[in-house]
Structure 1
């Protein structure tokens, strides 16, 4: 187990954020817990820990994300294409310039949890998340 992960487990704020992330996955029906086929290949999961800081560098929020270890997969074998819905900086600048020109009011927001709602055409098996393994299956 990675040292940062062990240290994070000693702090209740990190554990609370981990529980919230798991709850979001369950509410959004991201996965189903099933018995795995014996010949299935799995994609691993890992926790990513980040602090959100204010302008002075003080921690204002602890952020935890559960992500797949996509770097362990091979193109053409485990996947054919990738997609990351991230706004390009040029697009943001154009929108802000247009809003300024039109004298629009612009608001910033922090999205706590976002999921793509697309359906996968293939079955993907992932390991159970570290620290949240259900032994009853």
Structure 2
């Protein structure tokens, strides 16, 4: 859990603020997973902080919900062209990819349970970058 919150801090995902009048905060929740090796043996326990996006209201909290992805035809065309030209194609994965996109609009979330700021327990986090669970997160 500390590793996840450290990623948030390094990426400057949120800022601790007072909740503005007329705004509401969205809850957060920890999701736990076991990472297994190829034999199915647990090698690591993981925790991810998600926003309870199911409590967001359409038009009030967000506008459109979709993930901009490439069509399969475009990917096939790219791979065919790369093969024809003899290009080397590489694949990569971005750790914490959601945390790199900036968010549209103002979103406020509760402090994660067990990790409340002792000096400011009544403050909330203003989300600056995308978080898992937000309706507008895939658009970044």
Which of 117, 127, 133 is the matching residue for 2:101? 117
| Segment drifting more, 126-135 vs 95-104 | 95-104
The aligned residue for residue 59 of structure 1 is 42
**2:11–2:100 contact (8 Å) kept in structure 1:** no
- Residue 126, structure 1, aligned to residue 109, structure 2: yes
Q: 1:88 Cα shift?
A: 8.2
Local SS of the residue matching 2:4: helix
Which of 12, 16, 19 is the matching residue for 2:2? 19
- Which runs of no fewer than 5 residues in structure 2 stay unpaired? 121-140
Bigger relative CO (Cα 8 Å, ≥ 6 apart): 2
**2:19–2:25 contact (8 Å) kept in structure 1:** no
Distance 1:128 1:81 in 2: 26
The aligned residue for residue 7 of structure 1 is none
Q: 1:20 Cα shift?
A: 0.6
Distance 1:76 1:46, change over 3 A: same
**2:27–2:110 contact (8 Å) kept in structure 1:** yes
TM-score by length of 2: 0.64
The aligned residue for residue 68 of structure 1 is 51
Deviations 1:19-47 (A, max 9, x none): 01001101100000011124321111111
Local SS of the residue matching 2:100: coil
| Matched length | 119
- Which runs of no fewer than 5 residues in structure 1 stay unpaired? 1-17
Distance 1:89 1:30, change over 3 A: same
Local SS of the residue matching 1:51: strand
Distance 1:117 1:127, change over 3 A: same
Q: 1:89 Cα shift?
A: 8.5
Distance 1:88 1:126, change over 3 A: farther
Local SS of the residue matching 2:50: strand
Distance 1:49 1:89 in 2: 32
